[in-house]
Amino acid sequence: MLLAAGSGSRTGHATNKVFRRLAGRCVLTWSLDRTASVGQIGPVVLVVRHDEVAVARTVLEQESPERDVRVVPGGLTRHGSEYNALRSLAAEITAGAVDVVLVHDAARPLTDRALFVDVVRAARAHGGAVPGRRQSRLLDSRLRPSAVDTVTVQTPQAFRAAPLLAAHEAAHRAGFTSSDTASCMEVFSDAVTVRFLPGAASNIKITFAGDLLVAEALLARSSRRC
């Protein structure tokens, strides 16, 4: 699933950041294309705000007409958006046609193919996989060097489909919401182990206006290497 039900408020624009232009195409299209070379991925569920369903379908028709993408209205929270996407896949998950679910931010247009493959492989082996980067905290609250590391979590994340759906169903019944998928699994599923995998510095999320400039520079550098 591609999550794109956020807004563009922190980029300084009213437009959803996934519909902003990056090197001539929407951020969303770049993110979708990153999954195209991974043969194990499908079907693709794109979650957007209710008022942007038509916009998303237009972008897909214009920029990625060959991809079969389901557009699903999101919830009030990220957790709710994930639940809506899972409900759209429930029949296939129950039938065993979908064994692993990938959860990816549509605002991460530069993710390497290898990371998609790695998280899917780890999820099949252990139950779940979350990539991230360990970062040393330079200063603590007393302005002294700190040896404590923090972890910045990235996507794509992957989980076995049946336990993920069951966890979200249980969370829905309990009125529980979480800020990330792994938290929901931790509370409502003891059937899986979530593995931490190394992420990448280039796997940036478009959050602020300057991130678009960084992404364009990284794309330009990547194209020169090809």
CA pair distance 125, 156, nearest whole angstrom: 16
Collect the ranges in the chain with pLDDT lower than 50. 9-12, 138-147
Reading phi first (left if > 0) and then psi (alpha if -120 to 50, else beta), residue 23 is in: left
> What pLDDT does 136 receive?
59
> What pLDDT does 149 receive?
60
CA pair distance 119, 158, nearest whole angstrom: 6
> What pLDDT does 143 receive?
45
> What pLDDT does 11 receive?
46
Contact between residue 196 and residue 96 where contact means Cβ atoms under 8 Å apart: no
- The residue extents of the domains of the chain are 2-225
DSSP states of the chain as a string? -EEE---SGGGTSSS-GGGSEETTEEHHHHHHHHHHT-TT--SEEEEE-GGGHHHHHHHHHHH-TTS-EEEEE--SSHHHHHHHHHHHHHHHHHHTS--EEEEEETT-TT--HHHHHHHHHHHHHHEEEEEEEEEE----TTSS----EEEEE-S-EEEEHHHHHHHHHHHHHHT---SSHHHHHHHH--S-EEEEEE--TT-----SHHHHHHHHHHHHHHHHH-
Q: Name the CATH topology of 2-225.
A: Spore Coat Polysaccharide Biosynthesis Protein SpsA; Chain A (3.90.550)
Q: Which residues contact 202 (CB under 8 A, 6 or more apart)?
A: 110, 112, 218
- Structure-block tokens of residue 109: 């247009």
CA pair distance 71, 45, nearest whole angstrom: 6
> What pLDDT does 223 receive?
65
Which pTM was predicted?
A: 0.88
> What pLDDT does 152 receive?
86
